[in-house]
Structure 1
Amino acid sequence: MGHIYDKDFIQKELPMTKQEIRAISIAKLQLKDDSILIDVGAGTGTIGIEGATYLRNGMVYSIEKEEKGIETLKENIKRFNLENIEVVVGRAPEAIPEISYDRMFIGGSTGSMRSILDHFKKYAKAEGRIVINAITLETLADATKLLRELNFKNIEVVNVVVSRGKNIGPYTMMYGENPIYIITADKEETK
């Protein structure tokens, strides 16, 4: 299936990773056909759901603690008729399965970034890759500091700003979305 447009998702009141940010975040994950992706703070499920469409032999575990998020997430999974994605209700890292996996996306950590990264270091395969999306400078600073402290490799930060054109009479006016920091790191050094 590949890339999915925002309009195709059920959103309700929850924030959603916008399609341009989602495209870059999924590209940064470098998913393989058989990747096991842990989607932390899944919300409406946009990253996990779009990621699942790339995984013919892989699996997505979407971790979400908010009741309205869980409901919307399940509706979106049903909408796209995906069988390789499982909703895990609870807070990360406690709710993350204790299995070997190779990819993790963090869209929200509710103050548990260190313990989530510790889980990744313990259970992710040697070629494990993590992508963190941050809206606030505090999350950016906290995440990059922790990634260095925990000896992650190939740490990269990309700042993405997207503007959308809206028609104002005969003119098009650009309206900016929130800037997003996309942080990527590997568990081990890659060649």
Structure 2
Amino acid sequence: MSSPLWSYVTPGIPDELFENLPGIPMSQREIRLLMLCQLRLKSNSVLWDIGAGTGTIPVEAGLLCPQGQIIAIERDEDVANLIQRNCDRFGVKNVKVIEGSAPDCLKTLKQMPDRVCIEGTKSIKETLSEVWKHLKPQGRIVATAANLENLYKISESFAELHARNIEVVQSAINRLETRGTSQSFVGVDPIFVLSGEKLE
């Protein structure tokens, strides 16, 4: 699928091409690339993106999976509307935005996912437990942790759910930025990206 703003088949849309709102989290391009790599999407994947924020993952995944269906879940109405606007900006038609809080809203979703991305939720353990009930066999979960507490909770949940082929990657990214008359390398906040599979 092609987009008027991003005509490439390669993922990694620059952050500035997305509309954003103050205080709304955005998965920065390099972190997004790590997450998309770990999701191992197929052209017809059904992806749930929980805590979709600005909608960067739904847009990228929607472009990468032209026969797929992306469900973007966000609890705040203004943020859900922002996700829809970003999908419209990029001409992405296979994203459905659901306004609701995980894990409760997950019980109402009709399509079982084969891929799940969890970018931010207060009830991470409860959400992972509910996701596991719906995830298809051979399905993959990718979750991010920005602090030690969530890293522990996700790791513990993966162990309790008997997830297999677990991988953990921590980002260490610096971007060249112009500040005044000089150029400096500025660090992107480190994020843990965890992934695991449901084998049966």
Same fold (TM over 0.5): yes
The answer to whether the 8 A contact 1:134-1:180 is kept is yes
The answer to whether the 8 A contact 2:158-2:196 is kept is yes
| Offset at residue 172 of structure 1 (A) | 2.4
Q: Distance in 1 between matches of 2:174 and 2:77?
A: 31
Residue 12 in structure 1 maps to residue 18 in structure 2: no
Q: Which residue of 2 aligns with 1:104?
A: 116
Tell me how many residue pairs correspond in the alignment. 188
Q: Which amino acid aligns with 1:40?
A: I
Residue 128 in structure 1 maps to residue 139 in structure 2: yes
Q: CA offsets per residue over residues 63-122 of structure 1, 9 Å max, x none?
A: 000122112111101111111000001001222214321000000111x22222222221
Runs of 4+ in 1 over 4 A off after TM superposition: none
Uncovered stretches (5+) of structure 1, i.e. residues with no partner: none
TM norm structure 2: 0.89
Alignment CA distance shift 1:168-1:152 (3 Å): same
Identity percentage over the alignment? 34
Q: Which residue of 2 aligns with 1:187?
A: 198
Residue 69 in structure 1 maps to residue 79 in structure 2: yes
SS in 1 for 2:114: strand
Moved more, 65-74 or 133-142: 65-74
Residue 51 in structure 1 maps to residue 46 in structure 2: no
Moved more, 59-68 or 166-175: 166-175
| Offset at residue 168 of structure 1 (A) | 4.3
Uncovered stretches (5+) of structure 2, i.e. residues with no partner: 3-8
Q: 1:160 aligns with which of 171, 188, 192?
A: 171
Query: Root-mean-square deviation (CA), in Å?
Result: 1.5
Q: Distance in 1 between matches of 2:105 and 2:36?
A: 22
The answer to whether the 8 A contact 1:98-1:123 is kept is no
